[in-house]
Amino acid sequence: MSQLQFELTTIDKALRRGSLHFTNKNKIIQTPACISYTVRGSVPHLIADNLKSLPVSMVHVALEHFVEQKEPSSFKYPHGLHRYINLPEHLIFCDVRDPSKLAPASANTEKYVAVDTHGGVRRVTADLWKQAIEAYKPDWCATPADVVKAGEEIKTKRIKKSVDRTLRWLDDCLTSSSTAPVFAPVVGFDNQEERVRSAEEAAKREQVSGFVLNGFELNKDVRMECFKASIEQLPDNKPRLAYGLSTPESILQGVAQGIDLFDDSYAFKMTERGRAITFKFGKSMSKAEEGEKPEKTLNLWDTRLAQNFDPIDSSCGCYTCTTPHTKAYIHHLLNAHEMLGPLLIMMHNVYQIERFMGTIRKSIENKSFEKDSEAFMTKYNHEKEASGMDGHEDEIDFESLGSPIKKNRIL
């Protein structure tokens, strides 16, 4: 029996509520859920001690972050990835690409996925993947996908190749001696037939424990349709993970379509823009009011917060809000370009995404998901969040350091 079992609790058309059972670790994860984004094995800005206080159970580790070294030291480390990155109590999902973006790299070939690193392009072959997974011993993983980036001119021939390659690599990787459960990528770009073929074929591999869809390969306007074409071919009793659906709006769309797992890179993206997540969902969201639609996040670079001595959110249970650190202090840290600023914001944002997923699960249980989603879309401003730092000039209180001298002063 695979170390990873999936149980569906409720299903209503495409909408699902379930749980992932990691049987050898005795851990159960309720879905829909988010897997926490990491860079080089750490949640950005947070060392393990910081992460401990957050309700995070699963982390996503991208192989591409570790292969800059031609002979990756993480492969040589004898105790497995959990200990290498110091997250022994967390569940680790290992995939090839960074889920927050599909960075352009050189073209993939029949034999490898090309990834860009600081040290140049690296080739992730099925063999390299097997080497990594066997050394890392993650809790589960996904095999390499030949994902073609949206926007490029893609011919049908190329799309067929991507489906074929991805399947071939899947079959090759399944021969690995590793016992880590495997998720199979489902590709096919925007070609209906190929998407169906990719999903059908992946579903035929019985030992596969779940499926991965990559939103980055599709333009936003056709994404959900394309996903649908694949999802319809996938068995209900295995979980689906999707990349490229990190905004709250797209998470809601994904949940409605039957996606069970997402990544929380939205938390990181907002942190990098100096923004704290403030949106709510479901029961804890207050009704929309007349007038301007509220933002989903708060810009902590805003000079109007310089003397606001309240926490970001007094109902939030994160370290930042329970200390409670104030908006004024965090604003000061950003203005002073101190690393503690992003650290405090990141802790808050990761907590809030977890909370968001919790309210989604409750909403599905209460059979009010559709209604709650509509209310969310009506209430909030859905424009892309600008970086809070744009146009910012460091605020320096010059008067603090001295008094002006009158012009005709005799010294």
Partner 1 sequence: MEIKSFSGLKPGQETLDLVNGAHKFQKWNRNLLTDSGGFQMVSLLKLAKITEEGVQFASPHDGSLMMLTPEHSISLQNSIGADILMQLDDVISSLTTGPRVEEAMWRSIRWLDRCIAAHKNQDRQNLFAIIQGGLNKDLRRQCIEEMVKRDTPGYAVGGLSGGEEKDVFWQIVSLCTDLLPKTKPIYCMGVGYAEDLVVCVALGVDMFDCVYPTRTARFGNALTMNGILSLKSGKFANDFGPIEEGCDCPTCTNYSRSYVHLVATKDTVGCHLVSVHNVAFQLRLMRKMREAIIRDEFPSFIINFFASYFGDKSRYPGWAVNALKTVGVDLMAS
Residues tagged in the binding site annotation: 316, 318, 321, 348
Query: Phi-psi bin for 80: left (phi > 0), alpha (psi -120 to 50), beta?
Result: left
Which among 184-192, 347-355, 364-372, 400-408 is the span making contact with partner 1, rule CB under 8 A? Answer: 400-408
Taking the complex as a whole, how short is the minimal distance between the CB of residue 339 and partner 1, in angstroms? 5
Q: Is 336 in the site for partner 1 (CB under 8 A)?
A: yes
Say how many C-beta atoms besides its own lie within 10 A of residue 131's C-beta.
Answer: 15
Q: Is 265 in the site for partner 1 (CB under 8 A)?
A: no
Which among 174-182, 276-284, 382-390, 403-411 is the span making contact with partner 1, rule CB under 8 A? Answer: 403-411
| Residues in CB range of 22: below 8 A, 6 or more apart | 3, 4, 28, 29, 91, 139, 140
Smaller CB separation from partner 1, 87 or 184: 87
Site string for partner 1, 72-101 (x = CB under 8 A): -xx-xxx-----xxx---------------
Which among 131-139, 171-179, 228-236, 303-311 is the span making contact with partner 1, rule CB under 8 A? Answer: 303-311
Taking the complex as a whole, how short is the minimal distance between the CB of residue 38 and partner 1, in angstroms? 9
- Summarize the annotated binding site for Zn(2+) as residue ranges: 316, 318, 321, 348
Smaller CB separation from partner 1, 24 or 323: 323
Q: Is 397 in the site for partner 1 (CB under 8 A)?
A: yes
The closest alpha carbon to 341, from 300, 310, 302, belongs to 300
Q: Is 410 in the site for partner 1 (CB under 8 A)?
A: no
Which of residues 32, 41, 181, 239 is near partner 1 by CB under 8 A? 41
Q: Is 339 in the site for partner 1 (CB under 8 A)?
A: yes
Distances (CA, A) of 172 to 38, 160, 169, 296, 401: 27, 18, 5, 44, 67
Distances (CA, A) of 297 to 149, 243, 320: 29, 22, 16
What is the spatial distance between Cα 82 and Cα 369, in angstroms, rounded to a whole number?
35
Distances (CA, A) of 231 to 142, 202, 259: 17, 11, 9
Q: Is 216 in the site for partner 1 (CB under 8 A)?
A: no
Q: Is 388 in the site for partner 1 (CB under 8 A)?
A: no
Ramachandran angles phi, psi of 191, nearest 5°: -95, 110
The closest alpha carbon to 242, from 226, 193, 11, 166, belongs to 226
Which among 97-105, 149-157, 283-291, 391-399 is the span making contact with partner 1, rule CB under 8 A? Answer: 391-399
Taking the complex as a whole, how short is the minimal distance between the CB of residue 64 and partner 1, in angstroms? 13
Taking the CA atoms of residue 202, residue 206, residue 208 and residue 214 in that order, the dihedral angle to the nearest 10 degrees is: 20
Smaller CB separation from partner 1, 4 or 344: 344
Two tokens, residue 319: 């370290």
Which of residues 332, 362, 382, 392 is near partner 1 by CB under 8 A? 332
HSE-CB for 107 with a 13 A CA cutoff: 7
Q: Is 325 in the site for partner 1 (CB under 8 A)?
A: yes
Provide the β-strand partners of residue 339: none
Which of residues 8, 48, 154, 203 is near partner 1 by CB under 8 A? 48
**SS3 category, 116:** strand
The closest alpha carbon to 67, from 88, 34, 93, 95, belongs to 95
- Please give the residue ranges that form the binding site for partner 1 (CB under 8 A): 39-42, 44-49, 66, 69, 73-74, 76-78, 84-86, 118, 306-307, 309, 323-326, 328-329, 331-332, 335-336, 339, 342-343, 394-405, 411
